[in-house]
Amino acid sequence: MTDPHQPAPPRPTSRDVARAAGVSQATVSLVLGGKWPGRVSEATARRVRESAAELGYRPNLAARSLRLGRTRTALLVVPALTNEFFARVYTGAAAVAAEHDFGVVLYPSPDGTGPARDPFASARASLDGVIASSMASDALSALHGADLPLVMLDSDPAGTDAAAHVNLDIADGMRQVTDHLLGLGHRRFVHLASAVDTWTFAVRAGALREAVDAVPDAEVRTVRAPLDVRAGREAAEQALT
DNA sequence: ACACTTTTCAGACCCTTAAT
DNA sequence: ATTAAGGGTCTGAAAAGTGT
């Protein structure tokens, strides 16, 4: 039974592990950091691991970051996770990050208005990189000049100074959809477009227009609607009537 | 004496708080 | 107002240990 009024016992440090294993703190660091082969004997390494397990030792990440000047943390900036697509983006990013011993912190850009306060003031100091959707550009502008490596999702490859871009082949997808419908004999299209003006939507619209224009008697009309299901349904119903 | 392996030392990281 | 200490971890260099 633990007394909630008693302060928690101090967390064991690498020094405690070293004392328990009868080695120096440096040896603990080597062993637990996986850099011991060739530097520390097998028997010593085992002793260190056993002591660490016994004490329930976990490295102090703040101290590690202090030493390394890195946090192994990336910020993911996307629109709300209620959108399934971005929920999957997060899952994928977190999985890949974990493979590289990185963590992912999520910043869902508030709907419409952008961040209430600059959420990145501390982020600038505690992040090693940013992954951002172009659809969260409001939030992203707050990061301007943060001097962090930036990976852009779904955005104009020529548009930003990002270190890398990850884009779907949107144009080809749009072409395939349009060709399919044209093949079925359809000729009059409504493009229910987002009212949000981003590169990814412009590419879709361009590919659609191009595919339709290639067929002499086909036509496309564009209707814009806010980017949510209810508004989309209303706009679709209106277009159909 | 020498080569090689294993372990330790010492300083850097950067910010906060206490002491001067 | 300025200086010094402390926090935990990591790593290159140095020291200690072992075997031939």
The pLDDT tens digits for A187-235 are 999 999 888 778 888 899 999 999 999 989 999 998 988 877 888 899 8
pLDDT at A177 over 90: yes
State the pLDDT confidence band at A1, using cuts at 50, 70 and 90: very low
Top CATH class of A170-240 equals: alpha beta
More confident residue, A14 or A167: A167
State the pLDDT confidence band at A121, using cuts at 50, 70 and 90: low
Residue-averaged pLDDT of chain A? 79
Average pLDDT over residues A73-84: 79
Full-model pTM: 0.67
- CA atom of A152 to C1′ atom of C12, Å: 37
- CA atom of A126 to C1′ atom of B15, Å: 13
Nucleotide nearest to A39 (CA to C1'): B6
Nucleotide nearest to A69 (CA to C1'): B13
The residues spanned by each domain of chain A are 14-59, 70-166, 170-240
Looking at CATH, the fold of the domain delimited by A70-166 is given as Rossmann fold (3.40.50)
CA A21 – CA A37 distance, rounded (Å): 18
Nucleotide nearest to A64 (CA to C1'): C9
Domain A14-59: homologous superfamily in CATH: lambda repressor-like DNA-binding domains (1.10.260.40)
Please compute Rg for chain A using Cα positions.
26
Predicted pLDDT at A114: 47
